[in-house]
Amino acid sequence: MKKEIPLAIVFVAGVFMAVQFFVPHAGSEWIYEFVMEWTIIIGIFALALGIWSLLRVSTTKIKRKMENWPYAVVLLAGLVSMIIFGMGFMGGVESYMFRHFFNHVMIPLHATMFSLLAFFIASAAFRAFKARSALATVLLISALVLMLRFNPYLGPVGDLDADLASWILNVPNLAAKRAIIIGIGLGMVATALKVILGIERSYMGSD
Amino acid sequence: MKIKIIALMAMLLLLASVGWGQEEAAIDSTVQEVIPPGPPLNLKAFDKPYDNGHAIDLTWDLSVDDGAGRNNIIEYRLMRADSPEGPFVERKKLEMGKTEAEDKGVKEPDDPNYFPREHDFYYKVVAVTADAEAESEVVGPVRGIGQWYNAGKNPVAVAVVLFTVFTIYFIFKAKKGAELYIRPLAGIDAVDEAIGRATEMGKPILYVLGLGTAADIATIASFTILSRVAQKVAEYQTSLIVPCYDPIVMTIAQETVKASYYSAGRPDAYNQDSVFFVTNQQFAYVGGVNGIMLRDRPATNFYLGKFYAESLIMAETGAVAGSIQIAGTDEVTQIPFFVVACDYTLIGEELYAASAYLGREPVLLGTLKAQDYAKALVIICCIIGFIAASFGWTWFVEQFHVGN
């Protein structure tokens, strides 16, 4: 029963959601929205579990003085201080300290992490665009054509470059993308079927 | 004397009347006659088919002055009322030349664009010129009704049924013991090697489930792979780190890993803290995972699930840390980043196939075979569609059109 009941729930929920896709009626919409609201409610409760997990892992690190434990102190200090600053008696999320930490610590940190992407793209491109084989050379030439087309200073270098760049994007690139997307679609349906029919149970810990 | 005075007055009156006439003529010359345009004709309103009942479709014939006649129509206005007498409220403006419109609203009563179901409405269309308007006849009552089946999605239904039949057929075939060949995938073959490497090096394995929620199929597929990986990790007695972005994903991942350790007969080796929540902020999560990579130097990194802009930041950091990296995602825009920065990449559908490859169970391999046959069918349809479109045979192409 420990396995059968969850499998039955998965089957009923899976079949309902699949059928719901084809039923635009109000009743079907209502049940769908009801289920989605429950997902949000479960998500909120799960967030408490997540914070509990974070607290437990960090406090264990500190208690046992594990390697790099001071980072756990910083993490807990950030977590606790933001919770306190966000509380009603401190002025809530509009309080000076909460906004100050959010605007001057969290947002710049996020922006910094995101900015790293530019450098990582450059380093990844450097590795990818080495003409080690015929296919890699094609990739290199395609990349050069597109970089010339979209360079921010000169604009497209002639009509030929603009046309070639459009062709690369709209023909071979789009064809490959669509092929992958069709494969993904079939894979999704196959995975959903495996889970709904109870063929794939490894997520429940059974083979 | 009297006669002179009368004659003078008569002349004055004559002059005045002439002046008056001239003034009238002047006024007449400034006022042009306003001729209203021809109204839109044959207005028809009907419930939008295959929808949830919050829309009405309308069609009409063009005004005689739209594209012909005086050719002075600027736009049409779609008006709606609760009764034929009005008051009519403007629902939308339409460009000249339009002969159809959709009056669509939402179901939330407090929304300004609220469109109640099963409520009688009356419509008219107004043709507008620069200085005049002409109204069509009022049509109605018409009401929006929610349907029980969206026939516009028939192609999807047919495809799903066909694919389900394929899948069930191959599962039964596999159960009967038929040998099913599946092409090898380098990324999957490398999983065992990568876990073995971590065991030899005495370093942990990092498994990243991505930024997806538990409702994403890619994340579900990743759970199934995590289960297989965790089982091998338990057998080899290596350590596993699973930092999570979503708390629900974390809870499921904890249960999955725990069950895998039990299946491997190593429940004592399971550490609940190996699967933990980091944050649900994208770049804070990246910072946390990158920190783990650079501090703990895992021998192997798995990135399997849904990834966005963080994919390359994590994969490049992993490459810098010297880890073997196996990635897989269904996000088409992120696949090139993983291809460049990782040792092995599962491209698109391969992510979904990975679990079956790792398990090597006939039943799961049956679904892979069904996928292969479905792809063959898609290729055949593409070729026929290409030929049909080239020769202008639109019937075949239209069969694949999916409505809302």
Q: How far is B336 from chain A (nearest CA, A)?
A: 10
**Identity of the residue in B220, B258, B371 whose CB atom sits nearest the CB atom of A195:** B220
Q: How far is B103 from chain A (nearest CA, A)?
A: 17
- A 10 A CB-CB count for B290 gives 20
Contact A191 B217 (CB under 8 A): yes
**Identity of the residue in B312, B330, B347 whose CB atom sits nearest the CB atom of A124:** B312
CATH class for the region spanning B180-360: alpha beta
Q: Does B185 touch chain A (CB under 8 A)?
A: no
Tens digits of residue pLDDT in B302-329 = 999 999 999 999 999 999 999 999 999 9
The band of B25, judged by pLDDT with boundaries at 50, 70 and 90, is very low
**Identity of the residue in B50, B351, B359 whose CB atom sits nearest the CB atom of A202:** B359
pLDDT exceeds cutoff 80 at B19? no
Q: How far apart are the first and last CA of chain B?
A: 96
Contact B148 A188 (CB under 8 A): no
**Nearest chain A residue (CA) to B166:** A190
Tens digits of residue pLDDT in A71-110 = 999 999 999 999 999 888 888 888 898 999 999 999 999 9
Q: How far apart are CA B133 and CA B126, in angstroms?
A: 6
Interface of B with A in 223-282 (CB under 8 A): 223-224, 227-228, 244, 246-248, 250-252, 255-256, 258-260, 262-263, 273, 276-282
pLDDT exceeds cutoff 70 at B183? yes
Domain with CATH 2.60.40.10 in chain B: 41-142
CA atoms within 13 A on the CB side of B144: 23
Q: Does B311 touch chain A (CB under 8 A)?
A: no
Contact A127 B364 (CB under 8 A): no
Q: In what order do the strands lie in the sheet with B55-61?
A: B41-47, B55-61, B100-104
Domain with CATH 3.40.50.720 in chain B: 180-360
**Identity of the residue in A187, A190, A203 whose CB atom sits nearest the CB atom of B223:** A203
Specify the DSSP class assigned to residue B272: G
For residue A168, give the nearest of A194, A146, A152 by alpha carbon: A146
Q: In this prediction, what percent of chain A has a pLDDT beyond 70?
A: 96
Where does B41-142 sit in CATH, by number? 2.60.40.10
Q: How far apart are CA B37 and CA B132, in angstroms?
A: 7
What pLDDT does B83 receive? 86
What pLDDT does B16 receive? 52
Contact B276 A23 (CB under 8 A): no
- A 10 A CB-CB count for B74 gives 13
CA atoms within 13 A on the CB side of B14: 6
The band of A205, judged by pLDDT with boundaries at 50, 70 and 90, is low
For residue A47, give the nearest of B255, B218, B249 by alpha carbon: B249
Contact A120, B316 (CB under 8 A): yes
Average pLDDT over residues B388-396: 89
